[in-house]
Structure 1
Amino acid sequence: MAAAAVEGTAVTALRAVLQRVRHAAEISGRKANDVRVVAVSKTKPVSLIRQVYDAGHRCFGENYVQEIIDKAPQLPEDIEWHFVGHLQSNKVKSLLAAVPNLAMVEGIDNEKVANTLDRVVSTIRRKPLKVLVQVNTSGEESKSGVDPSDCVELAKHVKMGCSNLEFSGLMTIGMPDYSSTPENFRTLSNCRIEVCKALEMAENQCELSMGMSGDFELAIEMGSTNVRVGSTIFGPREYANKK
């Protein structure tokens, strides 16, 4: 498919996703702008991201540190970048230095990376960085994230012990085949109840990032405030040796 055709398809797909988000939000008694759509551009070229940007979208996500470091400087500064997934402590400094418009890290899965982020944010004197704690709701060994029973402890560490980070909520990946996502989503919602009780936060101040291309409508209906949509907008991913 020609590049122009692919780009046009991405813009059309974005509009369709936003319509589906609006409908799912209405079903759950909310408005479309109560749900953030992170367009996850993993493996996709800057030219394609730019087309979606030109269509009016501003929130994009990446899963690989090297990719976001390469792409962000080539794109407008008003993009709100999200780093999604496991972040290694030794890559924190390069990530924050290269992407001053990093809006959120989804998500922190251990105290070491939280402490490193906190320290580097302070060192470079940027505004506090919003972070989500990643919870492994499916219990898969291959997935990053804390056990649901440990989410309160990590959330408390971030909120109380990391003054340069802004604890903003919880995120989960869910099962790859989407067969058990209702239970995954329910687990994350229950984690939010426990975290908000422990931290004396209002639940509407604690985001839930759950739902991807195959299940974002169900996630929204079950309370998600942040969905991460990649292939449904940009098309199938083209995997290479990314790190």
Structure 2
Amino acid sequence: MPTLSDAYSTLSREVAAAGARLVVVTKTHPVEVIRELYELGHRDFGENRVSELEEKHPQLPKDINWHFIGHLQRNKVKNVLPLVSLIHSGDSLRLLREIDKRASDRRVDVLLQYHIAEEESKYGLTVESGRQLLESIREQPLKHVRIVGVMGMATYTDDKEQVAQEFRTLHEIYSSVKEEFFLDEPTFSEISMGMSGDYEVALQQGSTLVRIGSRLLGERNYD
């Protein structure tokens, strides 16, 4: 059985070779695992629960780039902002306005989350609601939020072609949004798609950020 060091080395090389960045999702995993990966040189870690992020953050080095990848409730924004470098789940104008209000004098990078899967349980914007959101921001700009790309989650299925099509859809959304709203903004450059079960497909479809947990760290412990 490969060690964590060996598994990480193999995975990080694969992701880097595709021109993407690896976000290691550490939900339910202890800080000791994060420290081990940190010592191997890794800096991008993702959490999707505010309480768990708040617990881990003070125990770990301050140069970690924390990614918040879960659904973010507006009443938790004030807790998350001091801790993270990128919020992946910008799924409504109200949330973006709340982040902007709470950001004070700092800049906050956010991805627009789009709904590309069949499952209705997943959060995210549609093409039309995303355009309306961006038109509203164009009319009343955000002072502290910088939109740097898009995020989406594919349907949980073994049908790789369906997953590929959904990721192609997100890439097309990214290109369209870039052309219409961010053509002169080089920082609008991220496509966050792909997790442990489908990251290879996501890399083939142009992902720049893959969010991988169980593929590297094993199954989560919910005890």
Regarding TM over 0.5, the answer is yes
When you count helix as a share of all residues, which structure comes out higher? 1
Measured in 2, the distance between the counterparts of 1:195 and 1:184 equals 17
Q: Which of 102, 123, 132 in structure 2 is aligned with 1:153? A: 132
Q: 2:56 — aligned with what?
A: 71
Q: Measure the CA separation in 1 of the matches of 2:3 and 2:117.
A: 33
Please give the alpha-carbon distance, in whole angstroms, between the structure 2 residues aligned to 1:77 and 1:200. Answer: 31
Structure 2 gaps, min length 5? none
The equivalent residue for 2:156 is 176
Letter aligned with residue 102 of structure 2: V
Deviation at 1:154, TM superposition (A): 2.6
Mapped contact 2:15–2:21 kept (Cα < 8 A): no
- The separation in 2 between residues aligned to 1:227 and 1:128, in whole angstroms, is 23
**Aligned residue in 1 for 2:29:** 44
Superposed CA RMSD:
2.0
Residues paired across the two proteins, number? 219
Write the distance in 2 (CA, Å) between the matches of 1:141 and 1:173: 12
One of 160, 164, 180 as aligned partner of 1:198: 180
For 1:237, the aligned partner's letter is R
1:28 matched residue in structure 2? none
CA distance in 1, matches of 2:51, 2:12: 28
Equivalent in the alignment of 1:16:
10
Give the aligned partner of residue 224 of structure 1.
207
1:207 counterpart residue number? 190
Counterparts in 2 of 1:178 and 1:82: CA distance versus 1, 3 Å: farther
TM (norm. structure 1) is: 0.83
The unaligned stretches of length 5 or more in structure 1 are 26-33
Answer yes or no: is 1:57 the counterpart of 2:51: no
Match of 1:189 in 2: 171
